[in-house]
Structure 1
Amino acid sequence: MKKTLIIIVAILLISNLPIFNFFVQENYQYQNFDSSFTYSEESGKGKSFIGCIRTYGHFLCEHPEKDKGDNWLYRTFAIKPWRFWEWSQMLFSERYRLPYKEKTNK
């Protein structure tokens, strides 16, 4: 029993290492309230969450009318707690702290 518990804990720890996440991380999508801004974070292709934040800031500068009222950035992906290899990101990454919004196509 003790050996099994150690194996399970080891699998959880190893699966949450950044090198493992690089290969199994899914692509994340983001939108603003009216879907005039969309961004798709693609793992392994250089499109990151930090790039999304920068791009959205640039979008707000170019469209000052969008910076009034609801200017939040929303995640359009659901949190999937059964993906145990993403638990460290779910706890510590800002992408999971964004409010959720159903994805709408414009």
Structure 2
Amino acid sequence: MKKTLIVVICVLVLTNLPIFDFFLKENYTYSNIDGSFIYSEESGKGQSFKTCLMRYGYFLCQHPEKDKGDNNLYRTFTIKPWRFWEWADFIFQHERFALPYKRTRETK
């Protein structure tokens, strides 16, 4: 029982190391309410959530009419807790998962 627990913990820790990001992580996508801003965060390619927030802020500055009403940023990906190799993101980068969900036309 103790060996099994150690093996499970080792697998969880190893699969959450940054070296596996490129191969295992999902590409997260974001949008505003009307779909005029779309951003895809590609793991392993330097496109981060922080960059998404900066680009969305710039987008709102460039389009002041979009800054009125619902100017929230939405995640267009579903949370999949069974993907244990992404648990480090769930814990340490929870801001992206705290965004409200908006279903896109492709996923209907």
Q: Is the 8 A contact 2:22 2:43 kept in 1?
A: yes
Which aligned runs of 4 or more in structure 1 are off by greater than 6 angstroms?
none
**1:14 aligned onto 2:14:** yes
How much identity, in percent, do the aligned residues show? 65
Partner SS for 1:101: coil
Q: Is the 8 A contact 2:30 2:74 kept in 1?
A: yes
Q: CA RMSD in A?
A: 1.4
- 2-structure distance, mates of 1:92, 1:68: 31
Q: Is the 8 A contact 1:28 1:42 kept in 2?
A: yes
Q: What TM-score do the two structures reach when normalised by structure 1? A: 0.90
The equivalent of 2:98 in structure 1 is 97
Q: Which runs of 5+ in 1 are unaligned?
A: none
Q: Which runs of 5+ in 2 are unaligned?
A: none
Q: What TM-score do the two structures reach when normalised by structure 2? A: 0.89
* Count of aligned positions: 105
Structure 1 residues 24-72: Cα deviation after superposition (integer angstroms, max 9, x where no partner): 1111110001111111111222222111111100000000111111111
